[in-house]
Structures are given as C-alpha cells and as structure tokens.
Amino acid sequence: MSTLTPESMVAVIGTGYMGGGIAQTFALAGHPVAVADATLEQAERAVRRLVAEGEAHEGSGLFPEGAHEALRERLTPATVEDAASRAAYITEAVPEQVALKHDVLGAVSAAASPDAIIASNTSAIPIGELAATVTGPERFLGVHWMNPSYFVPSVEIIPTERTDPQVATGVVDLIRAIGKVPTIVSDSPGFVANRLQFALYKECTRMVEEGIATPDQIDEVVRNSFGFRLPFFGPFAISDIAGLDVYAGSMATMERAYGERLAVPAVLAEHVASGRLGMKSGQGFYRHGPEDAERVRDYRDTAYARLVQVRAELADREPPLHG
C-alpha cells in the first residue's frame, strides 16, 4: 500500500458540502488535492467556489492567513478517472445512495493505482456493503467526516473484516496529521456518531408527537443542559461524575413510565450492584484516583465559564429559527 506523507496527492470525488470541506482541509494541511465530480465542468465550478469561500473565510478569520492562495495552488479540478489515477489516497463523498456509491467506487478502483487507499465518506451505509464493487477491498475502508467537515474534529475510521490493518493505521495517522481526531469504530449501520444522534432525534420527535414539548422547547433544553456539557465530557464520563447509582435510579423511574426503551441497561445495573458508582467510589466506567474529583471540578468549572463567554460573544449573530 502507498505510504501516506504530508505531500501525498489526495483525490476527493464529489464536490458537495462534505466533499468540498474535505478537499479544503487536506489542501490547507499541505496536500495537493484533485477534485472530481460527474463532469470536469462541475469540478471546475467547485474549485472556483472553494477558493472563493476560502477567501471569504480567511477575511473573517475562520480560515488561517494565506488560506486563499493555498487553496488556489493546491486544488485542481479533474475527471474521476484522472483524479483516482494520480492519488495515493482517494475519498468518495458522493450522495448517500448505495447504487451511486457502488458505481463511483467501481470506477475509482478501476482507475486507481493498485496500492492507492480508497475511502468512503458515508453517514450510515455499512462499509462492507460498499466494498462489493471495490477492486482490492483490503485497501478500502470507511472514513466518516462530520458536517461541516473543516471545523468539526471527529472523523470515524471504519475498517471492514477485509481491510488491511496497516491501511487503517496509515489512515488514522493521515487524518491525525491534518488536525482531526480519528477514532476507529466497528462497521455497523450509522457507526457511532449517527446512531447516537438519531437515537436522540427519535426521542425528541416522539416527545413532539406526544405533546410533551415543542421543537423550540426541546432545542432550548438540550442546548442549555446536557448539550452544554458534551463539548468537554462524553456520556460515560458525565455518568461517572454524576454517580452511576443516580443514573440507575433515574432510569428506573423512566422505565416504569416508558418501558423497555428507557430501561436500566444491564451494564449499568452490574456496575451499581458491584459498588462501582463512578468517581465517588474510585471506579465506574473509568478508574478515578483520589485527586481526580478536584481536577475534574476545576476543569469543568473553567470550561463551562469559557463556554458561557463564547456564547455571549456570539449572541448577536445567532440566527432566528421559527416553527
């Protein structure tokens, strides 16, 4: 397989919002990027748009100084076959349609060098399903970026059973080198991020349907409650801080009201029964030392205070939403 370096040629197939942001990210990290779409004319229009957007973002301080010229120099429009044939790393970012992705991945793998790495940016389609039309599936894996791709740190790396482990390791290193946070996850529909996101969304819509709250009320509560914590602590860390016995008691109440869908999870009940209550007992989903509580409290209070300041600074730019 290709050894990926900071100068490796990257190809991005698909120039929508996701593909465009991926191309900008690689280019601003120093990679030459071939940008392709259904036609060369579409790719040319996309490059002009991405360069102009880079100039606007640089002017407003969202992109680093020199971004405009870097994008102009490093983004090149190309056909799908030309882009794939020249790249060491290729990412497919076409719309979320299995048949379309199969067609594009088949064309890409036919044109690509045998040692080129091929990735698919899909939100939910299992990577093993997409591998059907890829020649050399050992060099293929999922690389799921979040929207907007330039600004959101997380990138899910999804190998299949047939992916060469060295390919996955190389892609993790590549994604980390361009400033993102790569996390290897299992190949299952929705992976981690979207399975969680849509589980929350489904419960939100259910509350609207039941007349419990309106969309604006739910959004307001989420933004200003647990959503306020999530930039700094994940769900398991938050539960350890609060106390797993507290979580189990709260979920038992909801289980009585809502049934199985909000039942106390077996792993949570097992922790509580064994006395692993989180930070206060020294062991929960994480191990906690004697000084952790004070360190977490200091970090938490500082982080939340800074977030309050950032939100206050952006208050006059918050767009109005009307139901």
5-23 tens-digit pLDDT: 888 999 999 999 999 999 9
The DSSP-derived string for 156-215 is: EEEE-TTS-HHHHHHHHHHHHHTT-EEEE----TTTTHHHHHHHHHHHHHHHHHTTS--H
Residue 3 — pLDDT band, cuts 50, 70, 90? confident
User: For the residues 142-164, what does the mean pLDDT come to?
Assistant: 97
User: For the residues 184-196, what does the mean pLDDT come to?
Assistant: 97
Report all structural domains of the chain as residue ranges with CATH numbers, in order of start. Answer: 10-184 (3.40.50.720), 213-317 (1.10.1040.10)
Tell me what pLDDT residue 318 has.
86
Residue 286: pLDDT over 90: yes
Residue 323 — pLDDT band, cuts 50, 70, 90? low
Tell me what pLDDT residue 259 has.
95
User: pLDDT digit string (tens) for 25-55?
Assistant: 999 999 999 999 999 999 999 999 999 999 9
User: pLDDT digit string (tens) for 245-259?
Assistant: 999 999 999 999 999
Helices 244-258/266-273 angle, 10° precision: 140
Q: How far is CA 291 from CA 5, 52, 280, 283, 302, in A?
A: 41, 50, 11, 13, 17
Mean pLDDT over all residues of the chain?
A: 96
Cα dihedral 224, 230, 236, 238 sign: negative
> pTM for this structure?
0.94
**Cα(244)–Cα(252) distance, rounded to whole angstroms?**
12
The DSSP-derived string for 125-167 is: S-HHHHGGG-SSGGGEEEEEE-SSTTT--EEEEEE-TTS-HHH
Considering the chain, what percentage of its residues have pLDDT values greater than 90? 95
**Which of 139, 199, 197, 191 has the alpha carbon at shortest distance from 164?**
139
**Residue 273: both structure tokens together:** 């029964």
Residue 319: pLDDT over 90: no
Residue ranges of the alpha helices (H) in the chain? 17-28, 40-59, 67-74, 80-86, 98-111, 127-130, 165-177, 193-209, 215-224, 226-229, 235-242, 244-258, 266-273, 292-314
User: pLDDT digit string (tens) for 83-131?
Assistant: 999 999 999 999 999 999 999 999 999 999 999 999 999 999 999 999 9
User: For the residues 143-169, what does the mean pLDDT come to?
Assistant: 97
Tell me what pLDDT residue 7 has.
85
User: Is there a contact between 112 and 84 (Cβ–Cβ < 8 Å)?
Assistant: yes
Half-sphere exposure of 184 (CA within 13 A, CB side): 13
Residue 60: pLDDT over 70: yes
